[in-house]
Amino acid sequence: MPLMPGAEPYRHDGGGTGVLLCHGFTGTPQSLRPWAEYLAARGLTVSLPLLPGHGTRWQDMQLTGWPDWYAEVDRELAALRERCSRVFVCGLSMGGTLALRLAQKHGSAISGLVLVNPSVKADSPTLKAVSVLRHVLPSVKGIASDIALEGGGELGYDRTPLHAVYSLTRLWPQVRAGLPQVTQPLLLLHSKVDHVVHPSNSAVVLGAVSSADVTEKVLEHSFHVATLDNDAELVFAESYAFIERLSVGAGDAVKEGTAGG
């Protein structure tokens, strides 16, 4: 199937600091593209892959599951590590879930995490019943474009495939169980109002990780897709400042890569 226009992955070769960005469930790189370009313009090496089953039609996603999505970001992390002296992982929603899984598996190979409205548990009755519902309903209404900004829009499926949802619900308990293994510096930004992932998900993450360096920011003016919403510039600036703080003095400074951007 052809890709939706705008769903293409994005990569930029910059300096010695790499950033892997992971998009959300049923979404595409479009939701993180402005963030990726912001970091690239400041000299960072950036990778924003398209997850398997995404960016075409929702029926294609029914044939994939969390091991496929995780394998893609794991490959991208390995590629970044080959060319960068340190790598940060950022994620929106399920992208945050995958980022946490990477942190649990790769430890000190990841220099820091930036999570925006990460998901780690089922909140709605539909999610809790999805193991049964998926055999009756192939899909339900889509979750894309939960954005407060007037005229804002997210490129994603208009239907949510329930077999894929079920796979995601199987990942959540593993990620929650592994939260104490997360020791990397953490910047977590979560929206005060989120119609897709309840803010209590962020509280679960903050309450269980072992990271000594933790920063929490509440996004007052955005819904779920904060990277395309009113607080987008805040997300971008805070993440860059976080990366720069942890990179300076740890080898080459972030700005050394600016000339290559």
Q: How far apart are CA 92 and CA 226, in angstroms?
A: 8
Question: In sequence order, what are the residues at sequence separation of 6 or more whose Cβ sits closer than 8 angstroms to the Cβ of residue 210?
Answer: 179, 180, 181, 182, 183
3-state secondary structure of 111: coil
- Phi then psi for 21, rounded to 5 degrees? -110, 135
Q: How far apart are CA 82 and CA 103, in angstroms?
A: 17
Q: Would you say the C-alpha torsion 165, 167, 173, 177 has a positive or negative sign?
A: negative
Question: In sequence order, what are the residues at sequence separation of 6 or more whose Cβ sits closer than 8 angstroms to the Cβ of residue 248?
Answer: 254
The structure tokens 């490129």 sit at: 155
Q: Which residues are catalytic?
A: 93, 194, 224
